[in-house]
């Protein structure tokens, strides 16, 4: 096998699954691939897809405000779309409320869209909604590559969202240093605070795993259990809502034709890719994952490398937490990032990264995350209840895992081989 095909072999099965899914959508889902270029100001002139009469869908997963305007500012339609969108019934109410607020704000032209034009359609929306899992998957891939696992990312997301929402509400009220910068700029403070705090959470995980030598699953379990409590403590058990344009822009704004969150993912992917493929860091991670003791004897600071991957993972969880909070314009400590650690791990494993550590594929993880989100969105568009979506999701996960399992391949191959041998004898 030549070099190129080896390099991309891990991507084959996820891409095949994704292609099958897209093919299914192309054939059976109306307007799935319809992408429109929209202009910020002439939004009313263009009729949104979900509002048209011939569309079979009650509502699709969009975040763009045009949806609601075209639907005649109907609050019901907004709630409908939002509940399809959010997946969790608990989030639906806050979602709908959040997005209704989004409409006047964008009309005011609070710098929500750069250049005024952006793409608009289901595939774009899949990217936007999948951005959280994609960001998480980048950090998770590095951690899993060292042979570890971080199951606390969901709780860290909740913490990041909580501290950001708390600080922004304090800044809005003016009782926090930095409020003099004005709402157009001071959102940087909560963003920075959230990222620092989530990095500290990652540092804590790294300390337990690399510093004290506790097995990763157990060490991160501590923060997973306690983290949501901490987030509740930060927000005092309340759901804090905010409408700061800067913070809302993260997951609801557009830049350079695409949702801004997509650019965040791209930036983080490029940085992570450069860090791991253009410096020795990636090699060190793989060597630690392969054999920690051997790499330590080879002069690699194995502990420090592991520690660092957990900090990066915490940072990524912080970014994802900000995206999640920005998406629904509030910090919900109970539901933010709930079960997302599982999605992130699934995306990583689907992407070909071995749970045993030692090899990792960032691009594969991103494809895995997109696959999961495409599956989810497809289900919603087929009117499947968000709760039931889990069933096919689980089956896809098992099938992809089986296809990637060397044991399964060997067994299937041996069955074919024995059949072929029998046929030959006859």
Partner 1 sequence: MKKFKFPMRYVPISATILVFFVVYLIGIISFDNFGSPKVFLDLFIDNAYLGIAVIGTALVILTGGIDLSVGSIIAFTSILIAKMIESGCNALWAIALALVIGILFGMLQGWLIHCFSLPPFLVTLAGMFFIRGCGFIVSEKSIPIKNDRVFDFIQNNLTVTLGKGLHLRFIVILYIVVLVIAIVFSQRTRAGRSIYAIGDNELAATLMGIPVGRTKILTYTIAGFCSALAGVVYAIYLKAGNPLNCVGLEMDAIAAVVIGGTLLTGGVGYVFGSLFGVLVLGLIQTLIIFDGRINSWWTRIIVGLLVLAFIFMQNLITKISKSKSKSH
Q: How far apart are CA 24 and CA 3, in angstroms?
A: 32
Q: Of 106, 132, 228, 254, which one interacts with partner 1 (CB under 8 A)? A: 228
* Contacts of residue 100, Cβ cutoff 8 Å, sequence gap at least 6: 68, 75, 78
413 binds partner 1 (CB under 8 A): no
221 binds partner 1 (CB under 8 A): yes
Number of residues that bind partner 1 (CB under 8 A): 45
Of residues 145 and 346, the one with the C-beta less far from partner 1:
346
Q: Of 19, 20, 294, 355, which one interacts with partner 1 (CB under 8 A)? A: 355
Burial (Cβ within 10 Å: 0-12, 13-18, ≥19) of residue 232: middle
Q: Of 93, 97, 114, 222, which one interacts with partner 1 (CB under 8 A)? A: 222
The CB-of-356 to partner 1 minimum distance in angstroms stands at 8
Of residues 267 and 405, the one with the C-beta less far from partner 1:
405
Taking Cα atoms as reference points, which of 221, 225, 220 lies closest to residue 306?
Answer: 220
296 binds partner 1 (CB under 8 A): no
Of residues 138 and 372, the one with the C-beta less far from partner 1:
372
The answer to whether 319 and 262 have CB atoms below 8 angstroms apart is: no
Coil, strand, or helix at residue 238?
coil
93 binds partner 1 (CB under 8 A): no
Positions in 149-168 near partner 1 (CB under 8 A): 149
Coil, strand, or helix at residue 148?
coil
Coil, strand, or helix at residue 335?
coil
Positions in 191-210 near partner 1 (CB under 8 A): 208
* Contacts of residue 230, Cβ cutoff 8 Å, sequence gap at least 6: 155, 159
Q: Of 23, 184, 192, 233, which one interacts with partner 1 (CB under 8 A)? A: 233
Choose one: 21-29, 104-112, 170-178, 404-412; the region binding partner 1 (CB under 8 A). 404-412
The answer to whether 70 and 47 have CB atoms below 8 angstroms apart is: yes
Of residues 165 and 272, the one with the C-beta less far from partner 1:
165
DSSP one-letter string for 341-375: HHHHHHHHHHTT--TTSS---HHHHHHHHHHHHHH
Q: Of 6, 174, 212, 420, which one interacts with partner 1 (CB under 8 A)? A: 212
Choose one: 129-137, 224-232, 242-250, 413-421; the region binding partner 1 (CB under 8 A). 224-232
345 binds partner 1 (CB under 8 A): yes
Choose one: 37-45, 232-240, 291-299, 359-367; the region binding partner 1 (CB under 8 A). 232-240
The CB-of-409 to partner 1 minimum distance in angstroms stands at 9
Count of alpha carbons within 13 angstroms of residue 361, beta-carbon side: 23
Q: What residue spans of 253-339 are helical by DSSP H?
A: 260-277, 281-290, 292-297, 302-328
Of residues 210 and 250, the one with the C-beta less far from partner 1:
210
What Å distances lie between residue 284 and 124, 288, 298, 361, CA to CA? 35, 6, 10, 15
Choose one: 168-176, 306-314, 363-371, 397-405; the region binding partner 1 (CB under 8 A). 397-405
Of residues 72 and 213, the one with the C-beta less far from partner 1:
213
Of residues 250 and 400, the one with the C-beta less far from partner 1:
400
Q: Sign of the CA dihedral 413, 415, 416, 417?
A: positive
Q: How far apart are CA 400 and CA 146, in angstroms?
A: 22
Of residues 46 and 221, the one with the C-beta less far from partner 1:
221
Name the site residues for partner 1 (rule: CB under 8 A). 149, 208, 212-215, 217-219, 221-230, 232-233, 237, 338, 342, 345-346, 349, 355, 385, 387-391, 393-395, 397-398, 401-402, 405, 407-408, 411
């Amino acid at each position: 096998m030549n070099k190129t095909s080896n390099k991309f072999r891990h991507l084959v099965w996820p891409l095949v699954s994704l292609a099958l899914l897209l093919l299914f959508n192309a054939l059976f889902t109306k307007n799935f691939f319809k992408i429109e270029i929209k202009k910020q100001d002439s939004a009313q002139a263009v009729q949104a897809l979900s509002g048209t009469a011939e569309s079979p869908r009650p509502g699709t997963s969009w975040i763009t405000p045009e949806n609601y305007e075209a639907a005649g500012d109907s609050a019901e339609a907004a709630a409908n779309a939002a509940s399809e969108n959010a997946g969790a019934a608990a989030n639906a109410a806050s979602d709908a409320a959040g997005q209704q607020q989004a409409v006047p704000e964008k009309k005011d032209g609070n710098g929500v869209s750069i250049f005024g034009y952006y793409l608009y359609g289901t595939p774009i929306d899949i990217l936007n909604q999948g951005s959280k899992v994609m960001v998480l998957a980048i950090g998770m891939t590095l951690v899993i590559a060292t042979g570890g696992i971080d199951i606390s990312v969901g709780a860290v997301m909740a913490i990041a969202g909580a501290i950001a929402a708390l600080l922004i509400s304090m800044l809005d009220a003016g009782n926090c240093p930095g409020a003099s910068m004005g709402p157009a700029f001071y959102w940087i403070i909560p963003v920075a605070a959230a990222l620092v705090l989530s990095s500290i959470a990652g540092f804590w995980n790294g300390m337990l795993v690399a510093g004290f030598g506790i097995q990763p699953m157990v060490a991160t379990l501590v923060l997973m259990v306690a983290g949501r409590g901490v987030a509740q403590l930060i927000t005092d058990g309340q759901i804090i809502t905010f409408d700061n344009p800067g913070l809302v822009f993260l997951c609801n704004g557009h830049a350079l034709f695409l949702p801004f969150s997509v650019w965040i993912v791209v930036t983080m992917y490029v940085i992570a890719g450069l860090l791991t493929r253009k410096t020795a860091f990636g090699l060190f991670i793989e060597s630690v994952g392969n054999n920690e003791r051997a790499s330590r004897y080879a002069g690699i600071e194995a502990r420090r490398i592991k520690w660092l991957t957990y900090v990066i993972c915490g940072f990524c969880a912080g970014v994802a937490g900000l995206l999640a909070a920005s998406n629904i314009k509030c910090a919900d400590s109970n539901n933010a990032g709930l079960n997302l650690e599982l999605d992130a791990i699934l995306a990583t494993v689907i992407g070909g990264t071995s749970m045993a550590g030692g090899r990792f594929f960032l691009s594969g993880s991103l494809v895995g995350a997109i696959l999961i989100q495409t599956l989810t969105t497809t289900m919603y568009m087929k009117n499947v209840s968000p709760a039931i979506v889990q069933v096919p999701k689980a089956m896809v996960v098992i099938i992809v895992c089986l296809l990637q399992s060397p044991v399964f391949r060997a067994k299937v191959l041996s069955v074919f081989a024995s059949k072929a041998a029998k046929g030959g004898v006859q």
